[in-house]
Amino acid sequence: MKSLIAPISSLLGGVALLLLGHGLLNTLLTLRGVAEGYSTGMVGLLMSGYFAGFLIGTWLAPSLIRRIGHIRTFSFYASLAATAVLLHVMIVNPWVWLVLRVIYGVALVTLYMVIESWLNAQVSGEKRGQVFAIYMAVNLGALAVAQQLLGLDSPMEFTLFALATILIGGAMMPITLTRQPQPALPDIPPTDLLQLARIAPLPLMAAGISGFALGGFWGLAPVYASQIGFDASGVGLLMSVTILGGAVLQWPIGLFSDKHERRTVLLWVVALAALLALAVAPLGASPLLLGLMFVWGGLAFSIYSIAVAQMVDHLNPDEILSGSSGLLLANGFGAALGPVIAGALMHLAGPVALPVFFAVSLGVLAFYAFYRPRKVMDLVTEPHGHFTPMLRTSPTVMELMPDAPEEASVAQEPANEQTLDDDVPPAEPRTGT
């Protein structure tokens, strides 16, 4: 393990510091916005601005990285992100914050892309899955620990904003000190959402609704927690517990989905998450609520990972990266829309609207998964695609996925076709669940 981590320790250190600052800032801004009197609709719009910037940055980042290199790009955008953090506390205005959130989203996805493309260049094919797992563990661990920093001071004070700035700026130090050579940025194949919707409609919809629901969680859960009686430390605890649930429970859910029919597993996971959200709705601040949110986090965070694994079941090897980028795009659009809708509902109905929003969103997905016609053609290079616990970051992370083709030549190998519905002849266009 030491020989695996040592060459990428500077990259892992950089992303850990970055996500400590990022995780602290996201919850901090929500709490500060509520304290300043912003409506829940406005808070939701601010969080949507971040996800909109994330999508914009996905298109802008590759050209800059290719032009000035990884280290310069990381330094530039880490400085931009740190500046945006301080401007939030210097200019307390919701419309200024909205612009800053878009800028910050652009910066963050670029920072992700720098680290992930660099990681991909540092590892060989047989170690790719291990590095991917370590990287995702660092991501989730840093986001969970970041929530505990909220108890250090009041959101109305300068301290927490300064700490977030220090952490994000500090991420530059291990990155700029690394002796590892800067890699070339890999090309992500173009995404055809219409084709993906025809081949793998259920994974595409699952990715979109996962982003929709979790976008609402990231943006409005701190507001929800504060309105039902948690103080700042309690808000951080609720966020940490939910994130830890997502980290811990994804593994057993993933192993189960690898051994059983993926569509059925997705249906049960989504349906249980919707029911748990309904169970949470009438509860106030309590240990029971925290326990239910731990389980809900494990289920909800698994949906996107199951969607990616099921998509791999339906694509040729040369289509996997393009398809993964399509799921990422659908997830991003959902995440940009979710906080706006959830915020508007909470503005009208109060905190109970958030768990109801989760339940309805996931209930729609469960309904679709249950009634979707089972006419499917699997095109896989192995007996089954593999579940990999993951977060939505940048398209470059897909290169690290164990199921992604390591070389373009793999794409030329013929795939084994299996028709699960004997009435569908192989000559017809592929359709899937």
Residues 6+ apart with CB under 8 A from 11: 115, 118, 119, 122, 174, 175, 178, 180
CB 224 within 8 A of CB 346: yes
363 residue type, one letter: G
What is the pLDDT, as a whole number, of residue 70?
A: 84
Q: The domain 2-176+192-404 belongs to what CATH superfamily?
A: MFS general substrate transporter like domains (1.20.1250.20)
- Token digits for 162? 């300064």
What is the pLDDT, as a whole number, of residue 316?
A: 65
What is the pLDDT, as a whole number, of residue 3?
A: 64
- The separation between CA 288 and the C-alpha centre of its own chain, rounded to angstroms, equals 26
Maximal CA-CA distance, the chain:
66
Taking only the tens place, the pLDDT of each residue in 361-408 is 999 999 998 886 554 444 444 445 555 555 666 555 555 555 555 543
Distance CA 246, CA 114 (A): 25
360 residue type, one letter: V
What is the pLDDT, as a whole number, of residue 428?
A: 44
30 residue type, one letter: T
Taking only the tens place, the pLDDT of each residue in 336-358 is 999 999 999 999 999 999 999 99
What is the pLDDT, as a whole number, of residue 191?
A: 63
Distance CA 432, CA 139 (A): 32
What is the pLDDT, as a whole number, of residue 405?
A: 54
Burial environment of residue 373 by CB neighbours within 10 A (0 to 12, 13 to 18, 19 or more): exposed
pTM summary value? 0.82
The Cα-based distances of 152 to 59, 369, 403 in angstroms read 37, 44, 42
What is the pLDDT, as a whole number, of residue 411?
A: 37
Distance CA 23, CA 319 (A): 33
Distance CA 144, CA 121 (A): 28
CB 430 within 8 A of CB 314: yes
What residues of the chain score a pLDDT lower than 50?
375-383, 407-429
Short-list 51, 43, 69, 156, CA closest to 393: 51
Distance CA 12, CA 170 (A): 13
- Token digits for 239? 């966020």
Short-list 316, 249, 256, 255, CA closest to 276: 249
What is the pLDDT, as a whole number, of residue 319?
A: 64
Q: Where are the domains of the chain?
A: 2-176+192-404
> What are the backbone angles phi and psi of residue 359, rounded to the nearest 5°?
-65, -45
Distance CA 132, CA 137 (A): 9
What is the pLDDT, as a whole number, of residue 387?
A: 57
What is the pLDDT, as a whole number, of residue 184?
A: 66
Taking only the tens place, the pLDDT of each residue in 253-297 is 877 777 777 788 889 999 999 999 999 999 999 999 999 999 999
